[in-house]
A and B are shown apart, each in its own frame.
Chain A
């Protein structure tokens, strides 16, 4: 199967994206940001729409810029408002999706964007793989330098602040990285499934792990495994790759869940 250039590209992309999903997913789950990342995924449509309106031809760039803006906006409003975070996210997410759909469906042309819903990893180009590689390095750098601070901020904000940890900056940077991974990978895995790929490996890893090292190891491992197996399986069954990856990840989740029920950690 690797005699095809598009398969080589797809495999390379999977090898970059899935460890990223595994790494970021752990902290998204710990910090209860699953809904936040989901909203970001949906806002991709708005990003494309804004790009169309402003005449930006590079949709990657338009989505990325909008994603970062949207993430920071959600954080800002969340910090100012007395309403609970999920209400705010829901309000802004639905609003942004509506705007996106309205613009993109003008003149009955929405079908050309429907590919975003399911995603197509086989169409990824070398340049886009390079974007992912850069993002991969950024996430790695952030995790090496700031991981403890991010974790501390999630466990108790005031306590972290009392230790002079730059809580706000850590949280904003983390949101920006989530926006980055969501926007750059959404065309390959699809708006409908992106959140599953972020959450499932980490959720499965939680069933088995007692500490942060096991948690991240299993999460990355499960993510990579689902990605690689999903790609192979989709090649031989001629099914879209994203859904197959998610099915593999779901099976892993179910298996770890059953295992954890039999072998509870005390």
Chain B
């Protein structure tokens, strides 16, 4: 794989007082997050904690309070933040005639994909796919790709724009361990070779421990942030994932720690 850019470590992204409400209901409030470039931040939390909403708010897909700054650490000048996004799954059913070229070109280029292939677009798409070693998939139908292949295609598309921040949902649990390992290795590769930070919604604590630089425990607001160890040993974590958070009839029978309780979910 070829390297594209080195992370500079010189700028950072600051999320200040971010809040989201749908009508009366408060989904997120006062979320403050500081992210250095070249780092991977894993967001964890129980279901309904607002993890996906946080991603959508950062993307600007839902209205939110607060702001997001992108600053040079050296001189403090503000720059425009470019965000790449990798959704968990996309809306393409079996038997849909959309090839990988069609998928990427639709987002990235204006020349209508139904008419003919644009040479320029094809060249650039192949180049992007090469970084993830999936260039031979360009003419395959998207609906026939495996989960891992699709993930890499979407990643290739996300970094085409040279984003400063990459937002993603970890692949749905149920992907086999090899696939997960590959996914996290790819993340490592990404943050090492591209000048970007990663915010990842994670469902699998095992991999969070192994790969994340920083862990954020979210439930409406940030309950705890820090290294994986710090967060996992905190009281808030015990409450969210631990035995204390479980109904009594389960707690009575199980002596397993918070980690096992999560894994067994």
Is chain B found bound to chain A in the same assembly?
Answer: yes
Q: Residue B114 contacts which of A143, A160, A162, A163 (CB distance < 8 angstroms)?
A: A143
- How near does chain B come to A211, taking the closest CB pair, in angstroms? 4
* 6 interchain pairs, CB-CB under 8 A: A147-B112, A149-B106, A159-B107, A213-B114, A213-B117, A265-B144
B131 on interface, CB distance cutoff 8 Å: no
Contact A158 B90 (CB under 8 A): no
Contact A156 B116 (CB under 8 A): no
Contacts of A158 in B (CB 8 A): 56, 59, 61, 85, 87
Known contacts A30-B96, A162-B83, A214-B97; decide if A148 and B112 are in contact (CB<8 Å): yes
Contact B106 A151 (CB under 8 A): yes
> Across the two chains, which residue of chain B brings its CB closest to A208?
B97
Q: 5 closest pairs, A vs B, by CB?
A: A209-B97, A211-B99, A215-B97, A147-B112, A216-B114
> Across the two chains, which residue of chain B brings its CB closest to A158?
B61
> Across the two chains, which residue of chain A brings its CB closest to B62?
A158
Known contacts A211-B139, A265-B141; decide if A148 and B109 are in contact (CB<8 Å): yes
- How near does chain B come to A27, taking the closest CB pair, in angstroms? 9
Contacts of B111 in A (CB 8 A): 148
Contact A212 B56 (CB under 8 A): no
Count A/B pairs, Cβ under 8 Å.
Answer: 96
B92 on interface, CB distance cutoff 8 Å: yes
> Across the two chains, which residue of chain A brings its CB closest to B88?
A156
> Across the two chains, which residue of chain A brings its CB closest to B105?
A148
Could you give, for residues 177-218 of chain A, a 1 whenever the CB lies within 8 Å of some chain B CB and a 0 otherwise? 000000000000000000000000000011101111111100
A8 on interface, CB distance cutoff 8 Å: no
Q: A156-B91, A162-B60, A211-B101 are in contact. List 9 more A-B contacts (CB 8 A).
A: A143-B114, A158-B56, A161-B60, A162-B59, A163-B108, A205-B97, A212-B99, A213-B115, A214-B97
B173 on interface, CB distance cutoff 8 Å: no
Query: Within A133-164, which residues are at the interface with B (CB < 8 Å)?
Result: 143-145, 147-149, 151-152, 154-156, 158-163
Contacts of B102 in A (CB 8 A): 151, 211-212
A26 on interface, CB distance cutoff 8 Å: yes
Contact B87 A210 (CB under 8 A): no
Query: Within B150-181, which residues are at the interface with A (CB < 8 Å)?
Result: 161
Q: Residue A210 contacts which of B59, B97, B116 (CB distance < 8 angstroms)?
A: B97
